[in-house]
Structure 1
Amino acid sequence: MMKQIFCTTAILCGALLAKAQHNNNPGSNHGNKFEQLGTMIQDPNMYRSASGAPGPKYWQQRADYDITAELNDEKQILKGSEIITYFNNSPDPLTYLWLQLDENEHDPKSDNNSFDESKLGERTNMRQLSNLMPKNLDLGVKIVTVTDAATGKAIPYTINQTMMRIDLPKTLQPGEKFRFKVEWWYNISDRMTVGGRGGYEFFKEDGNYLYTMTQWYPRLAVYSDFQGWQNKQFTGRGEFALTFGNFKVKMTVPADHVIGATGECQNYKEVLSPAQFQRWQKAQSSNDIVEVVTLDEAKNAMKSKASGKKTWVYQADNVRDFAWVSSRRIVWDAMATPIEGKKVMAMSYYGPEAYPLYRKYSTKAVAHTLKVYSKHTIPYPYPVAISVEASNGMEYPMICFNYGRAEKDGTYSEATKYGAIGVIIHEVGHNFFPMIVNSDERQWTWMDEGLNTFCQFLAEQEWDNNYPSQRGPAYKIVDYMKLPKDQLEPIMTNSENIINFGPNAYSKPATALNVLRETVMGRELFDFAFREYARRWAFKHPTPADLFRTMEDASAVDLDWFWRGWFFSTDAVDISLNDVKWFRLDTKSPAVENKYAQAEAEKSMNHISRERNKKEGIKFAVDQDTSLLDFYNKWDRYAVSPAEKEEYNKMLASLTPEERKIYDGKVNFYELSLSNVGGLVMPVIVEWTYTDGTKEVDRISAYIWRKNENNITKVFAKEKQVASIKIDPYRETADIDESNNVWPRSATPSKFELFKMQMAPRGASTGGNPMQKAQQGK
């Protein structure tokens, strides 16, 4: 069952299986959306319990690294060697190991450089044409040797694009470990032109480089209980499944370079100046930001370019990866941040062009992120968290690369400010998902990007109550969910097969979790269950089923219908309020009912001919000849007789107080008819506006749809008379058509604007710059 459901040739390849599994009772209006997930997720076993927790025989592999690397700043080359110790904690004997060579994504011969469609339009720019030309770049990892660390003997290996298999000298039995050595080098790519997560950025104005060294060493792929080797090729989109281990890394760089990296530096005293080391020690106990390397020092280094080399030594324990930044054009600041009784060093590294933004916001945004995420998941366990400005957005354990540069005059737009804060929160937040809660990003991008984007929304909203969050609020996903079905795919789709990657892998799952927290479960139940998921799977490898099961197990809320709709289908929310009927009880009161009958009779006689005859002054026969009048012309048929009054009083005396209130005509009954146009069942949230101007909201569980998934009716008793009704008044369910949510129907005006689209570099100041205009006196 595991392979049927979770391998990439099944459910993760697209919507077909999800659609087939979605309908348990085809052709019926019930018995589909509320059925349990069943075979849509893998069966529980001794490795993964039915509760969503790791099973009693859960295991995972481990890989320790001892790496030595040297950066050539003249030729932009990285050379390295590593000794890897691989621990086989699985119950399986292994005859080979798989390593990832992610730099090979830049090799022109790799499939990812040719398997996307391309076409020419009537207007084409030079960059588009350049991308179509053959590439002569010498990029990709060059393996020098692979040897047994104990014997020095060569080990056979095979490279398949971004994956390398090494064939073990002998079978690695359960419980055994194996040490081997790999030597390699590669030409560092210009990530500003070639793209990718790592590489260099060249600053022509001062002739210096900024190196962001990521996916830079051959690293072990994951071998797991649910799929064996995760050796799916890296194409540049689906990110990484990685094994935890301990790292010791020595990096030799130009003497005036500053390095920030995963883990803790072991030799700051040797590589920093005495003044810098003193500032570093001061930062250890400071509750405000301390510049360890100042702006003036960075600017001086940019000009002087000292000769010689230095080796920085870092150590990181129980991490799944290692990344670093190196440059002479770096300001470095730090601040001690308490996280539940433990000191964490929040730090930032950035160039002069980012100083106005990053000096003010970056490190404080790092600290804020750690505090908010720790509250909603687990306490941050690592000693360091770093934000690097690199006109980028990418995450690694304890270090991430972000964007946010000011104008040359030091000003910046509001869009740049919030973009920088948002990306820092997001990338620092990735320390929790997937660096600690270590899901398989290459299979299920949403498990790290979606969960992290949800937590990013929580952190943004705790930063500023007016924070302009772009992902999280339900109404923000509407434009995506209303797209034609051939442009959509379920969240449970492999990352390489997604068309609208951002909405599918980031926005929709983040929105779903926010809806789950605010609308379906409530904050208390959701927060407890979400923390339990993080606690259970910290430093382990969870699957979607583990998340789904834990959220239910820890809350006692059956959510299979929710996972089905939001994660396994392309249905949208569109609940239509089709009809409203207003009922009032027959009070049996002659005074009330007779007046009602009189009004109805008058209404039935009020036709157009009658009105026009009166207006024309027609002389009616009974007025001209009064002898035509009799008892019935004078009789008040709606007057209350003594007998009727006596009978009514007897009936009143027999009523309870609650019944009396109803018979007094003080309760109105409204029957609402609703239809599920979009297909995605959701709670029904009804806002009543009464004739006296007051409002009231009723919330009905999504289970109201369980016996008829297409159409429902619901009667509400209200003491006040209703003037209007609105479904989903707070826009919390992502309803894609709000025009059918109101009664009586009302037209909503729309606006349009002519504009010319402009493209700006990532991280550049966008959205207008009122700060600059104010300084210029405009």
Structure 2
Amino acid sequence: MKKIKLLFLSIFFIGAAAFAQEKRITQQGHTNQNKFKQLKDLLATPNSQHTASGAPGINYTQQKVDYVMDIVLDDENQRITGKETIVYHNNSKDQLTYLWVQLDQNMRAKDSKTPDISTNKVPKKLNKRWFKRVFPDNSFDGGFKITSVKNTDGSNLSHTINQTMMRINLPKPLKSGETFSFKIDWWYNINNHRTQGGRSGYEHFTENGNNNYVIAQFFPRLCVYDNVEGWQNDQFWGRSEFALEFGDYTVNITTPDDHMLGATGVLQNEKEVLTKKESKRLAIARKTFDKPVIIRTQKEATKIEKSKSKKTKTWKFVAKNVRDYAFASSRKFIWDAQAVDINGRTVMAYSLYSKEANPLYGDHSTRSVVQTLKTYSKYTFDYPYHKAISVDGQMGMEYPQICFNPGRPDLEDGGYSDRQKYRTIGVTIHEVGHNFFPMIVNSDERQWTWMDEGLNSYMQMLAMMEYEEDYPLRRGLPKNIVKYMSGDQSKIAPIMSKGDNVYSFGNNAYGKPATALWILRETIMGKELFDHAFKTYSQRWMFKHPTPADFFRTMEDASGIDLDWFWRGWFYTTDVTDIGIKGVKKFSMKENENDVEFIEDTSKGLGFAKKHSKYHYEITYNKPGGLVMPIIVEFTYKDGSKERKTYPAQIWRYNDKEISKVFSSTKEISNITIDPDLETADVDTSNNSWPKQQKNKFEKFKNKVKG
């Protein structure tokens, strides 16, 4: 019996110990998972170059690279030959033993690895144009042919080529404050971007055997070196774009004598390359602010394109403080121009286009350039360059002072549909807008695509709305991102992802960040606070290299609003907005001698409330979605009147799943609706109303969301 008691006691104490252990386990601590915790665990530590306020610090430095180039455009063989002298200024505090140079054309080299990283299958059907691109008859001999890399004294300079990057091995370490000069000679075959794809190249016209050239990434150019990434020498796979240093360019471009050319920089020899008639018209355009002036007419361009001159001419340009260089050249180009008043300073808006793009380009291209410069200057900083050019390049690509845009008439009578009109205007505004982001606010596109595409897509919305009343906005409105955000999570990446590695590139880098900024301005911060903060960021980082942290911190610093919860949710996760009404309780109030009694009223007539001055509603909101967002509530009263109430996102700080809020009114409520104007990108509106709407009513609401 004694042994049995001992055994029982042993089991009891073991069980008690196990229970205590289990209790201790359940009481163990946890890390901070609150949606409102600060971003300090994700953002880089502030320093004297990138400060805690988001501004450049007192020790901020960046490199400078100057180029002198002689370029020959061979129209007969579709080839570019170039010679360049590069002067690299080491403004950093570091000593450098080598330099990295970008060779972007090498993604088209025969031994390029770019095609090998994309998976594919044999399609059932393929458009002939795409068939030629995917299944070319002959492999294209693309890529830079580097013929020499030399010191300025003519001696060979040690270098190593690694796909789209070339390392220049310096003869001796380059100390802080020193410069190093060297020369590169090269050539490459130009790709037909219409049949082979690409961000630059030529388009061939069979009518008279002419080509329109839109040329970029055409010269070896230096990578960025800074205290954030060191050398930004990630390989160029074709999608994530560019990280570049500012510098001064002197560029001489030799073309056929009958070509019209537009390029980055100030033209130095106008009288040598333009006719007297063209110069006279250009002088008129420089004083014409209300409409475009034709410099080379369609009739003149059509006549010129019928024959090919055997002579050449050299266009001479100087560009100061630009991060890149590009040009467009063709004997087919029509040219129009208009002056733009940017706070008392005249800037020229140009368009170059073939007759195939008229009248669409003639009607809207230069006007779109003008609108972009005005709107962006209003919300950021005055456009600092002397011109901006839109080129009929039938793609969407941007460079300092020049961009290549789509747009050709799509109707049988030579006219164009509204769809084509708005597509052309939208893309033109977007590409011209890139002059601000990233050509001036010079973010690292190779790493953070959204910092130029997303910010620019947001600004594009403002410019389009100012271009035309009731402009049909597509990308950027909250309702338009719902389908993407509510899609297959295995195919969605956070905004803070490298562009090369995301599935839905357009939604990830353009649509969602533009929507985020729209929501910040329209719903969370308000126009005044947002506009001031956005302008502060833009002006702080003009001609500098901002990081995501600089943007996030400046927006908070200049507005006085803690937005860490917003950045974390929208930019670092793939969470969605879904806020609903879980339940509504109605209360009547009864005043006693010493207290006030609230009695839940489950009757249809609200019982006690009819005898008193106020109705009291306890509304329980739940949040199936992961994002914390403001709760925008519209109350509809039985007399037909409406009232709105917005609860800040911080209402979720203590309970991330469900909260209750009392709303009192002197009038009886008949309906409650969350987010009535679709401001928050709510992915499920079926739980947004009380009483819950019947299916036929909800279908109308759902169709509005799909928009």
Match runs of 1:370-389 below 5 Å? 370-389=373-392
Letter in 1 for 2:620: S
Amino acid paired to 1:454: Y
Residue 239, structure 1, aligned to residue 229, structure 2: no
CA distance in 2, matches of 1:249, 1:523: 43
Cα offset, 1:171, TM superposition: 1.1
Distance 1:30 1:518 in 2: 30
Q: Which residue of 1 aligns with 2:667?
A: 720
Is the Cα contact below 8 Å between 1:31 and 1:706 reproduced in 2? Answer: no
- The one of 71, 74, 79 aligned to 2:76: 74
Instruction: Name 1:404's counterpart in structure 2.
Output: 407
Could you tell me which residue of structure 2 aligns to residue 259 of structure 1? 261
Provide the residue aligned with 1:219 in structure 2.
221
CA distance in 2 between counterparts of 1:603 and 1:568 reads 46
- Alignment of structure 1 residues 43-62 onto 2, 5 Å: 43-62=45-64
Q: 1:120 aligns with which of 110, 119, 122?
A: 122
Per the alignment, residue 99 of structure 2 pairs with: 97
1:682 aligned to 625, 629, 636, which one? 629
Matched, 1:188 2:190: yes
Equivalent of 1:739 in 681, 686, 691 = 686
Q: What residue number does 1:138 align with?
A: 141
Inter-CA distance 132–336: structure 2 relative to 1 (3 Å threshold): closer
Following superposition, the deviation at residue 135 of structure 1 comes to: 5.7
* Structure 2 CA distance for aligned equivalents of residues 579 and 238 of structure 1: 47
How many pairs are equivalent?
A: 664
Aligned to 1:193, what secondary structure does the other structure show?
A: helix
Q: Does residue 454 of the first structure (1) align with residue 401 of the second (2)?
A: no
Answer yes or no: is the 8 Å Cα contact 1:404–1:420 preserved in 2: yes
- Structure 2 CA distance for aligned equivalents of residues 319 and 46 of structure 1: 25
- For residues 357-409 of structure 1, the C-alpha deviation after alignment (integer angstroms, 9 at most, x for no partner) is 11111111101111110111111110011111111100000000101101463
Determine the C-alpha separation between the residues in 1 that align with 2:604 and 2:65: 88
Does residue 1:295 correspond to 2:298, yes or no? yes
Q: State how far apart, in whole Å, the 2-side matches of 1:335 and 1:247 are.
A: 25
The secondary structure found in structure 2 opposite 1:585 is strand
| Cα distance between partner residues in 2 of 1:47 and 1:355 | 49
Q: 1:692 to 1:588 in 2, by over 3 A?
A: farther
Equivalent position amino acid for 1:399 in 2: I
TM-score normalised by structure 1 residue count: 0.83
Amino acid at match of 1:410: G
Aligned partner of 2:202 among 187, 200, 203: 200
1:136: Cα distance to partner? 2.3
The one of 570, 589, 594 aligned to 1:566: 570
1:508 aligned residue (498, 508, 512): 512
- Counterpart in the other structure of 2:503: 499
| 1:668 alignment counterpart | 615
Measure, in 1, the Cα distance between the counterparts of 2:555 and 2:28. 28
Letter of the 1:293 counterpart: R
Q: Is the 8 A contact 1:29 1:708 kept in 2?
A: no
Q: Which residue pairs with 2:13 in the alignment?
A: none
Shift of 1:354: 1.2
Residue 602 of structure 1 deviates from its aligned partner by 12
TM superposition shift of 1:739? 1.0
CA offset at residue 31 of structure 1? 4.7
Q: 1:574, CA displacement in angstroms?
A: 0.4
User: 2: distance between equivalents of 1:327 and 1:556?
Assistant: 52
Name the aligned partner's letter for residue 505 of structure 2: F
Partner of residue 371, structure 2: 368
Q: Once structures 1 and 2 are overlaid, which stretch shifts more, 55-64 or 580-589?
A: 580-589
Cα separation, 1, equivalents of 2:519 and 2:588: 36
Deviations 1:178-225 (A, max 9, x none): 111110000001111111101110011221100001110101110011
CA shift for structure 1 position 122: 5.3
**Residue 727 (structure 1) shift:** 0.2
Distance 1:26 1:701, change over 3 A: farther
Q: CA deviation at 1:307?
A: 2.4
Q: Is the 8 A contact 1:330 1:350 kept in 2?
A: yes
The offset of 1:587, in angstroms, is 5.2
Partner of 1:334: 337
**Preserved contact between residue 238 and residue 441 of structure 1 (Cα < 8 Å):** yes
Cα deviations across residues 249-275 of structure 1 (Å, max 9, x unaligned)? 100000000000111111111111110
Question: 1:358–1:129: structure 2 CA closer, same or farther, 3 Å change rule?
Answer: closer
Matches within 5 A, 1:515-526: 515-526=519-530
Structure 1 unmatched ranges of 5 or more = 1-24, 605-637, 639-661, 752-778
Alignment identity in percent? 51
Q: How far apart, CA to CA, are the structure 1 residues paired with 2:589 and 2:189? A: 84
How far did residue 59 of structure 1 move? 0.2
The TM-score normalised by the length of structure 2 is 0.91
Partner amino acid, structure 1, of 2:318: Q
CA apart distance, 1:548: 0.4
1:220–1:492 Cα change, 3 Å: same
In structure 2, the partner of 1:41 is 43
Matches of 2:549 and 2:215 in 1, distance apart? Answer: 34
AA paired with 1:552?
Answer: E
C-alpha distance in structure 2 between counterparts of 1:691 and 1:348, whole Å: 58
Deviation, structure 1 residue 105: 1.1
Q: 1:26 to 1:145 in 2, by over 3 A?
A: farther
Shift of 1:467: 0.7
Contact 2:586–2:606 (CA under 8 A) maintained in structure 1: no
The one-letter code matched in structure 2 to 1:741 is N
Over the aligned positions, Cα root-mean-square deviation in angstroms equals: 2.4
Q: Given that residues 669 and 717 in structure 1 are in contact (C-alpha distance below 8 angstroms), is that contact kept between their aligned partners in structure 2?
A: yes
Q: Which secondary structure does the structure 1 equivalent of 2:213 belong to?
A: strand
Counterparts of 2:138 and 2:255, CA distance in 1: 29
Q: CA deviation at 1:131?
A: 2.5
Q: Which residue does the alignment assign to 1:65?
A: 67
Higher relative contact order (CA 8 A, sep 6+): 1
**2:55 aligned partner, one-letter code:** A
Moved more, 448-457 or 303-312: 303-312
**1:653-687, CA deviations, whole angstroms, 9 ceiling, x for partnerless residues?**
xxxxxxxxx99612111111111111100000000
What displacement does 1:280 show?
A: 1.1
Answer yes or no: is the 8 Å Cα contact 2:132–2:195 preserved in 1: no
State the AA in 1 paired with 2:529: L
Query: CA separation in 1, counterparts of 2:54 and 2:495?
Result: 20
| Amino acid of the structure 1 residue aligned with 2:196 | V
Q: Secondary structure of 2:551's partner?
A: helix
Question: Per the alignment, in what secondary structure is the counterpart of residue 372 of structure 2?
Answer: helix
- Structure 1 position 119, deviation (Å): 2.1
Distance 1:675 1:173 in 2: 60
Larger radius of gyration: 1
SS at 2:181 equivalent: strand
Which secondary structure state, in structure 1, belongs to the residue aligned with residue 376 of structure 2? helix
For 2:30 and 2:429, the matched residues in 1 are separated by 46
Report SS of the residue matched to 2:444. coil
Q: 2:643 aligns with which of 677, 693, 696?
A: 696
Deviations 1:485-514 (A, max 9, x none): 111110000111110000000000000001
Which residue is equivalent to 2:467? 463
Letter in 2 for 1:442: R
What are the superposed Cα offsets for residues 67-95 of structure 1, whole Å, 9 maximum, x if unpaired? 10001111101000011111000111111
For residues 672 and 47 of structure 2, what CA distance do their matches in structure 1 show?
Answer: 49
Query: 2:276 matched to which residue of 1?
Result: 274
How much has 1:588 moved relative to structure 2?
6.2
1:726–1:743 CA contact under 8 A, matched in 2:
yes
Are the structure 2 counterparts of residues 603 and 40 from structure 1 closer, same or farther at C-alpha, using a change threshold of 3 Å?
closer
Structure 2 residue 533 is the aligned partner of structure 1 residue 586: no
User: Alpha-carbon deviations, 1:37-92, whole Å to 9, x = none?
Assistant: 11201000111110000011000000001110001111101000011111000111
CA 1:129/1:152 → structure 2, altered by over 3 Å: closer, same or farther? closer
Residues in 1 aligned to 2:217 and 2:147: alpha-carbon distance in whole angstroms: 18
Aligned to 2:24: none
